[in-house]
Amino acid sequence: MDPKKRVEELVKIIEKYNYEYHVLDKPSISDQEYDRLIGELIELESNYPELKVKNSPTERVGGVILEGFDKVSHEVPMLSLANAFNEEELKSFDEKIYKDIVFNNQYITELKIDGLAVSLEYKAGQFLTAATRGDGLVGENITNNVKTIKTIPMSLSEKIDITVRGEIFMSNASFKKANSIREQKGEQLFANPRNAAAGTIRQLDSKVVAQRNLDCFMYQIVKPEDYNLMNHSDSLSYLKKLGFKVNNEFEVHKDIESVINYVSKWTLNRNNLQYEIDGVVVKVDEYRYYELLGRTAKSPKWAIAYKFPAEEVITKLTSIDFQVGRTGNITPVANLEPVRVAGTVVRRATLHNEDYIIDRDIREGDYVVVRKAGDIIPEIVKAIVDRRESDLEKFEMIINCPKCESKLVRGEDEADYFCLNEICPARKVEGLIHFASRQAMNIDGLGEKLVEQLYSEEIIKTIPDIYALKKKAYELLELERMGAKSINNLLEAVEESKKQSLEKLIFGMGIKHVGSKVSLILAKEFKSMDNLMNATYEELISIDEVGDVIANSVVDYFKDNDNLNIVTELQLLGLNTEYISRINRKQIFEGMTFVITGTLSKSRDYYKNLIIESGGKVTNSISKKTSYVLVGENPGSKYQKALDLSVEMLNENGFVHLLK
């Protein structure tokens, strides 16, 4: 057969089988036959590169590696939704709609998938680009990564120009598999499927994305009137017709009571799904009302997102362990009979500190209420005293370190107990983990499990040992799951970390009370590690945002000869100990105060550093003296306070313009 015709035929038939398998869940051929067809197409494309079409099915396996993501402007902003947290707030939403318009139409409800929003653009029915939500106005180009998601069609059933939006997510099964692989590699586990999906879609290597098996539900057509669509339920049907995967659990309702029943149903049944949801989206179904109802600065008035309350479950607290942190702080941790909370199995939960346990009278052997704080960190809410056995002993805090047996000390104004033994092995390991972490020296591949393994094998015992790893390549090869490639990548990451700016090194050293923000302030002020080591208490206390506790902590740290020796060793090993200004600009924010609120496309520390490096300050509370509020998605009460005080607000795009 003519190779050109065969390539065209294979592309068409493989896309058909992809749709059957991934969207309809009704495959008509075996996996072996599908693999044979893919193999044939790969071979033809290798032999005749000129025949490879733009959106070939072979691109689903990834392979493109980018240096970064380009910015993409959204022609129509990707708005976030206002939130409702109870039945009364849903009824209030309904009352406002009836107050604003003559409304006798219907609502439509959809499950709120716990993932990340994406916008897809098609030209003549062919996939063109994909972008993240970003700040709603400007997102990032993730086209190559989206091509690996098999539920997103590369060509539509109609040759139309269209922009559609949806939610990329990771199923529970894929999440479990991804974490299993990371655990085997000694890498830090993903906290939940949403974090896993968000981290995956922003991978620079699309082959990694392909391996993690992301999924996507589409739920919106931009400018639906261009396709003669009158309501949202018709749009969902049209999306399915075009070949998109649509979540089938949507329902149309005649009144708010029916909506509330739908919400109640999924509040109870959310854990029966194969993917995570964090609420229900409620919309007016008919589009003609949208313009009449209008929108606020950040969200439409014709839709609202009901957020599920934090899930609480009951299980038994079998025992209490004590973890030692890098600064010696002791944290009580509950060991639990395994229980599923918010989509994942929980076996351990934080108990915070002695006061927290005693105030709630939590005891070993109690049945306790567990929830995930922010749907991420498991914590004990309370003990169920009615189910307590009579002979359970009250909690008593340990008096010696569980690792080195040193006597624990509780500071006068501290909630925590501390192990003051500088050579405590648990403190050493936690300190090494912290030094290599992303916010500190960002040594890719040197995760918690590997640090523990290297410490136990006595390959690294101190921070300078990390930079001597290249001399121990043969010892690394003898370790389990450490091949030549992973070792080479690790050593390259170690060398690259030597170039980090001074603030990263200061934070990595783990000086008590000195976080990432203060580290940057100190780096800017003193410019070099030598200057900081010689700084006096008076010099430190004179710096804005450096108080008595921090100043004393820094002075005490550099009085210790062991700490001074570590710094000297690191200098000899070639680490940069000078401040590197990432932004060469005037202090344009001199005298300005910023407050940051809501979820942003980059970390809050990123924006804090930009503001501080440009001469400004960042505070937690809004007042009439606040210059600007940088607002992300779901900003909460600070947004309303800024409105009340008439403080100017910026989204991320506006902030960038101000910075320029």
Examine residue 231 and state whether it is found in any structural domain, yes or no: yes
642/528 same-domain check: no
**Alpha-carbon 469 to chain mean position:** 31
CATH code of 373's domain: 2.40.50.140
Examine residue 75 and state whether it is found in any structural domain, yes or no: no
DSSP annotation string for 371-395: EEETTTEEEEEEE-GGG--TTPPPP
AA letter at 117: A
340/378 same-domain check: yes
Which of 539, 572, 605 is the last residue in one of the domains?
572
Examine residue 73 and state whether it is found in any structural domain, yes or no: no
pLDDT exceeds 90 at position 631 = no
pLDDT tens, residue by residue, 402-442: 989 999 998 777 788 999 888 898 888 999 999 998 889 98
pLDDT tens, residue by residue, 160-203: 999 999 999 999 999 999 988 888 877 777 777 888 898 899 88
Helix, strand, or coil here: 332?
strand
295/336 same-domain check: no
State how far the Cα of 589 lies from the Cα of 613, in Å rounded to an integer: 9
pLDDT at 585: 47
Of the chain, the end-to-end C-alpha distance in Å amounts to 59
């590369």: which residue's tokens? 154
State how far the Cα of 530 lies from the Cα of 114, in Å rounded to an integer: 47
**Structural domain for 554, as ranges:** 502-572
pLDDT at 508: 94
The secondary structure element, H or E, covering residue 221 is strand 215-221
Model pTM score: 0.52
State how far the Cα of 111 lies from the Cα of 127, in Å rounded to an integer: 26
State how far the Cα of 107 lies from the Cα of 98, in Å rounded to an integer: 12
State how far the Cα of 659 lies from the Cα of 56, in Å rounded to an integer: 41
318/388 same-domain check: yes
CATH code of 638's domain: 3.40.50.10190
**Mean pLDDT, rounded, for 7-18:** 83
pLDDT at 64: 59
pLDDT at 313: 87
User: Is residue 112 among the annotated active site residues?
Assistant: yes
For the chain, the domain total comes to: 6
Q: Are 639 and 649 in contact (CB under 8 A)?
A: yes
469/370 same-domain check: no
What are all long-range contacts of 466-469, with beta carbons under 8 Å and residues at least 24 apart? 466/432, 466/435, 466/436, 466/494, 467/494, 467/498, 467/570, 467/573, 467/574, 467/575, 468/573, 469/494
pLDDT exceeds 90 at position 312 = no
403/369 same-domain check: yes
Q: Are 284 and 221 in contact (CB under 8 A)?
A: no
Which of 307, 325, 359 is the last residue in one of the domains?
307
Q: Could you tell me the pLDDT band of residue 443, with boundaries at 50, 70 and 90? A: very high
- Catalytic residue chosen out of the listed positions 112, 403, 428, 638: 112
Examine residue 587 and state whether it is found in any structural domain, yes or no: no
- Bridge-partner residues for 319, per DSSP? 335
Please state at what angle helix 425-436 crosses helix 448-456, rounded to 10 degrees.
140
CATH code of 463's domain: 1.10.150.20
pLDDT tens, residue by residue, 620-630: 888 888 999 99
pLDDT at 66: 59
Examine residue 72 and state whether it is found in any structural domain, yes or no: no
Which of 387, 417, 447 is the last residue in one of the domains?
417
Q: Are strands 628-631 and 593-597 parallel, antiparallel or unpaired?
A: parallel
pLDDT tens, residue by residue, 501-535: 999 999 999 998 898 889 989 998 999 999 999 99
Q: In sequence order, which residues have a C-beta less than 8 Å from that of residue 464 and are 6 or more positions away?
A: 566, 569, 570, 573
pLDDT tens, residue by residue, 575-592: 999 998 755 445 778 888
What sign does the dihedral 528-529-530-531 (CA atoms) show?
Answer: positive
State how far the Cα of 287 lies from the Cα of 232, in Å rounded to an integer: 7
Examine residue 167 and state whether it is found in any structural domain, yes or no: yes
600/564 same-domain check: no
246/123 same-domain check: yes
Q: In sequence order, which residues have a C-beta less than 8 Å from that of residue 375 and are 6 or more positions away?
A: 192, 278, 310, 311, 342
AA letter at 411: G
Q: What Rg, from alpha-carbon coordinates, does the chain have?
A: 28
Quick one: which of 217, 213, 215 has its CA closest to 177? 213
The secondary structure element, H or E, covering residue 166 is strand 162-169
449/525 same-domain check: no
220/110 same-domain check: yes
pLDDT at 226: 94
Q: In sequence order, which residues have a C-beta less than 8 Å from that of residue 169 and are 6 or more positions away?
A: 113, 114, 115, 116, 193, 194, 197, 214, 215, 216, 217, 275, 276
**Mean pLDDT, rounded, for 469-494:** 85
- Bridge-partner residues for 339, per DSSP? 346
Show the 3-state SS of 40-96.
HHHHHHHHCHHHCCCCCHHHHHCCCECCCCCEEECCCCCCCCCEECCHHHHHHHHHH
Q: Are 426 and 403 in contact (CB under 8 A)?
A: yes
132/215 same-domain check: yes
Q: What angle do CA 379, 380, 386 make, to 5 degrees?
A: 165
Examine residue 162 and state whether it is found in any structural domain, yes or no: yes
Q: 396: exposed, middle or buried (C-beta count within 10 Å: 0-12, 13-18, 19+)? A: exposed
Q: 141: exposed, middle or buried (C-beta count within 10 Å: 0-12, 13-18, 19+)? A: middle
- Cα–Cα distances in Å, from 495 out to 188, 443, 467, 492? 21, 9, 7, 5
93/160 same-domain check: yes
- Count other Cβ atoms within 10 Å, centred on residue 370: 22
What sign does the dihedral 358-361-365-371 (CA atoms) show?
Answer: negative
Examine residue 240 and state whether it is found in any structural domain, yes or no: yes
